[in-house]
Structure 1
Amino acid sequence: MQDDSLNIKALLQEIESLKEQLLESNSIVDAIKQGDVDALVVHHEGVPQLYSLETADYTFRLLIEKFNQGALSISRNGLILYCNDHFSKLTGIPSEKIIGTYLSEYFETPNHFVALIEALKYGINTHEIIFKTNADTITSFPANVSVTDLEPSVQGIGIVVTDLTEKKRHEEALVKHQEELEEKINELNKINANLEEFIHVISHDLKEPLRKIVMHNGKIDGSYLSESDAKSMNVMKSSALRLNSLVDDLVNYSSHTAQEERTNIDLVEVITEVKDDHEILITDKNARIEVLGTLPLIKASKVQMRQLFANLITNSIKYSKTDVAPLIQISQVETDAKNEKQTPKFIQIQIKDNGIGMEKNHLSKIFTIFQRLHAKNEYSGNGIGLAICKKIMENHSGIIKVESEPNRGTTFNLFFPIL
């Protein structure tokens, strides 16, 4: 009787144990059905054996497989439960050989894994790691590793690995290009310094003998010369004067490479000074220079503004019609903003004349140094004035544009940035 009682008690205990195992098995089956389990690890004699499972969420699994990034799920101690094909390609190892190994084995510095997991506690989940590879062409590659703790939904950690090889290559190329650019800039600075030195030589050493040629030429009494010799002397004098003018213009052109101090400039005052400076030319040509409306204050170099407006005004007078007095009108053009909230980026100043104008195919040439559209015997000048205007506008981060029609005049538009 006592033996039967003991047997019944043992059977009841075994039934309870089986119930617990059944409950645990049902929980695992439910987790598998819901797609919460990627793999099962069964320990046999202390050795982990891993069994991958195809979950019900096939679409999600397919998406991960198609990733152009490595994707893994690992246990907290780094055991790889799953990896996609892309990670397999990155390491050069078949996925079936990766699953069941430890993530740290693929790090060039294995102890980085501990730091990577510890950093999760502080919300740091992005790291740059060097991975080892079994590929024939490369032995390692830099990668960005993004770590996501999947608990409490799933007991595990998600890893996304992004290969940085191309990015690093582009960065290195960019650094190299920047170094080359800096080298070119240094070379250019040296060339500019040499050019400035050369200009100084021209302005001092070349102008002195020219001045003497002109001076002594003027002392020669032409009454003792034959008509032919007197004509030759005049040609020599005019050539020396033209060369002297060319030297002045070249020095003027080079001097406008400098960034002078910017102050608030009253353009009306600048135009008045230009008119005073060129009073003889303006009177001789019976020219009228009108300022229409008000002109704004701009932040600029006063010296360069005087040079700019002097060149444009004298250019308009120079290329005026023979039978019509030159009329030059200067005004501010209101910026055409699409709505009231838009802030204009430029101040537009317009210089309009009633001169001879020019063909459209010539408009692109006029700002080029030494470019002339007319013969020397038709109009004076060295073809530098408008090149200086362009350089001055560039110095002020501005733009100069031109519109023209033959016999209907020319309009220059100056665009100054609003600072």
Structure 2
Amino acid sequence: MKENNTNIESLLAEIASLKEQLYESNSIVDAIKDGDVDALVVNNNGVPQLYSLETADYTFRLLIEKFRQGALSISRNGLILYCNDYFSKLIGIPSEKIIGNYLHEYFNNAEHFVPVIEALKYGVTTHEILFKTQDEKKVFPAYIALTDLEPAVQGIGIVITDLTEKKKHEDALIQHQKELEEKISELNRINANLEEFIHVISHDLKEPLRKIVMYNGRIDAAYLSEADTKSMNVMKVSALRLNSLVDDLVKYSSHTAQEERTEVNLVDVISEVTDDLEIIISDKKAKIEIGQLPIVHASKVQMRQLFSNLISNAIKYGKADHPPLIQINQIESSESEIPNETHQFLKIQIKDNGIGMEKTHLIKIFTIFQRLHAKNEYSGNGIGLAICKKIMENHSGNITVESKPNEGTIFNLFFPLS
């Protein structure tokens, strides 16, 4: 009788155990149906094994794994519940050894973890963090974005973007900018030294030149032979020419500086220039025709120098049998007419009826000290047109030339529209 009771009790206990297992199985099935479970841990001979379930989330899971960014899910206290392969590669540790550890263990400064989590309360979800790797001496900068997954899921989602290459580019850019600033500073220093040098040299040269000319004039030609008189005249002319050259060099160097810009009426500027050139205009019987010209934003001093050089140049190279005719007008132009330029420009044209020049000479005339004629044919130091080019460059503009022998020359000035 006792034996039967024992068997009944054993069967009842086994039935109860089976009911409990059935209840547990039903609970798991229900959880799977509701999407609350995506993995199971099953003990097999005392060894826990993780089984992931393919659900409707499979495509999403695949996307996360293929991300070129690290992806993690952590608990509130920083326990890593999941990490994708990319994060594993970033820090050089297999994902199965990362899951179950705490996120702050991979921060270069573990104290940053609490402020990052606390910042979520105030809506601050992005940070830059330095991460350690398997090689403890090596760290990498990363941009992390956190998402609070509650109430759907108890946890926090994190996306990690490696900033190593970005930081390299930023550092290279900063270094390049620093080198550029140093070169600009050095260039400014050299320019300042050159300007100071030119002004000092001009003063030191002009003083002895002035004395040569002065004492040359005191010599009574009556006591000199014809040959000596000729030699003295050559010396005087050479000294005067050297004095003129020094003045032109100082003018050329002065246009490296950016002078104050104002609204300049070009008609007024040219009127002032023609007043200055009154004697040479009268001697050569030159005629200057001024059309409608615009107001430009420019340095008035440099504009006077520009038109003074161009007008005196046109008079100097006039034909012997024709009085110089110089026409200055604004030309309507829909295109910039400047290679590799897309900006719009005002075009001012200075046209003369002078001797003109060969096409092969056109590229030379804006070069400093470049002369196309012998000194005994035309005066000058070959600096005037170089100054014109520099003035136009100072104003972000350009100067071009068109010419044919015996047909005259046209200079085109291009001023950028504001």
Tell me which interval the TM-score lies in, with the shorter structure as reference length.
0.7 to 0.9
Once the two structures are TM-superposed, the CA of residue 155 in structure 1 deviates from its matched residue by: 4.6
Structure 2 residue 209 is the aligned partner of structure 1 residue 210? yes
Match of 1:330 in 2: 328
**Residues 129, 144 of structure 1: 8 Å contact kept:** yes
Once the two structures are TM-superposed, the CA of residue 152 in structure 1 deviates from its matched residue by: 4.9
Structure 2 residue 315 is the aligned partner of structure 1 residue 311? no
Over aligned residue pairs, what C-alpha RMSD do you find?
3.7
Q: Which runs of 5+ in 1 are unaligned?
A: 1-6, 339-343
Relative to structure 1, is the Cα distance of residues 410 and 156 closer, same or farther in structure 2, using a 3 angstrom cutoff?
farther
Q: What amino acid sits opposite 2:231 in the alignment?
A: S
Structure 2 residue 113 is the aligned partner of structure 1 residue 117? no
**Residues 71, 84 of structure 2: 8 Å contact kept:** yes
Quick check: 221-230 or 123-132, which moved more?
221-230
Once the two structures are TM-superposed, the CA of residue 310 in structure 1 deviates from its matched residue by: 0.4
Once the two structures are TM-superposed, the CA of residue 385 in structure 1 deviates from its matched residue by: 1.1
Relative to structure 1, is the Cα distance of residues 304 and 65 closer, same or farther in structure 2, using a 3 angstrom cutoff?
same
Match of 2:350 in 1: 351
**Residues 52, 82 of structure 1: 8 Å contact kept:** no
Aligned length: 402
Q: Which runs of 5+ in 2 are unaligned?
A: 1-10, 337-342
* 3-state SS, counterpart of residue 349 of structure 1: strand
Map 1:165-314 to 2 at 5 A: 165-292=164-291, 294-314=292-312
Match of 1:64 in 2: 64
* 3-state SS, counterpart of residue 245 of structure 1: helix
TM-score (norm 2): 0.82
Relative to structure 1, is the Cα distance of residues 228 and 169 closer, same or farther in structure 2, using a 3 angstrom cutoff?
same
| Counterpart Cα distance in 1 of 2:127 and 2:41 | 28
Quick check: 301-310 or 176-185, which moved more?
176-185
* 3-state SS, counterpart of residue 111 of structure 1: helix
* 3-state SS, counterpart of residue 230 of structure 1: helix
Per-residue CA deviation, residues 67-92 of structure 1 (Å, 9 max, x unaligned), is 33222233333333333332222111
* 3-state SS, counterpart of residue 346 of structure 2: strand
Relative to structure 1, is the Cα distance of residues 118 and 272 closer, same or farther in structure 2, using a 3 angstrom cutoff?
same
Map 1:58-207 to 2 at 5 A: 58-135=58-135, 139-152=138-151, 154-207=153-206
**Residues 335, 344 of structure 2: 8 Å contact kept:** no
* 3-state SS, counterpart of residue 175 of structure 2: helix
Match of 1:341 in 2: none
**Residues 69, 163 of structure 1: 8 Å contact kept:** yes
Once the two structures are TM-superposed, the CA of residue 208 in structure 1 deviates from its matched residue by: 1.6
| Counterpart Cα distance in 2 of 1:376 and 1:63 | 82
Relative to structure 1, is the Cα distance of residues 324 and 28 closer, same or farther in structure 2, using a 3 angstrom cutoff?
farther
| Counterpart Cα distance in 2 of 1:101 and 1:20 | 29
Relative to structure 1, is the Cα distance of residues 333 and 147 closer, same or farther in structure 2, using a 3 angstrom cutoff?
farther
Q: What amino acid sits opposite 1:26 in the alignment?
A: D
Q: What amino acid sits opposite 2:217 in the alignment?
A: G
Quick check: 247-256 or 366-375, which moved more?
366-375
**Residues 52, 81 of structure 1: 8 Å contact kept:** no
Once the two structures are TM-superposed, the CA of residue 210 in structure 1 deviates from its matched residue by: 0.7
Once the two structures are TM-superposed, the CA of residue 30 in structure 1 deviates from its matched residue by: 4.7
Relative to structure 1, is the Cα distance of residues 337 and 180 closer, same or farther in structure 2, using a 3 angstrom cutoff?
closer
Per-residue CA deviation, residues 33-75 of structure 1 (Å, 9 max, x unaligned), is xxx94x56799xxxx9865555555554444334332222333
Match of 2:4 in 1: none
| Counterpart Cα distance in 2 of 1:356 and 1:383 | 17
Once the two structures are TM-superposed, the CA of residue 131 in structure 1 deviates from its matched residue by: 0.2
Relative to structure 1, is the Cα distance of residues 369 and 16 closer, same or farther in structure 2, using a 3 angstrom cutoff?
same
Q: What amino acid sits opposite 1:126 in the alignment?
A: T
| Counterpart Cα distance in 2 of 1:348 and 1:330 | 11
Relative to structure 1, is the Cα distance of residues 19 and 85 closer, same or farther in structure 2, using a 3 angstrom cutoff?
closer
Q: What amino acid sits opposite 2:26 in the alignment?
A: L
* 3-state SS, counterpart of residue 298 of structure 1: strand
**Residues 304, 392 of structure 1: 8 Å contact kept:** yes
Q: What amino acid sits opposite 2:224 in the alignment?
A: L
TM-score (norm 1): 0.82
Map 1:376-415 to 2 at 5 A: 376-415=375-414
Identity percentage of aligned residues: 73
Once the two structures are TM-superposed, the CA of residue 367 in structure 1 deviates from its matched residue by: 2.5
* 3-state SS, counterpart of residue 35 of structure 2: helix
Once the two structures are TM-superposed, the CA of residue 277 in structure 1 deviates from its matched residue by: 0.8
* 3-state SS, counterpart of residue 415 of structure 1: strand
| Counterpart Cα distance in 2 of 1:356 and 1:41 | 101
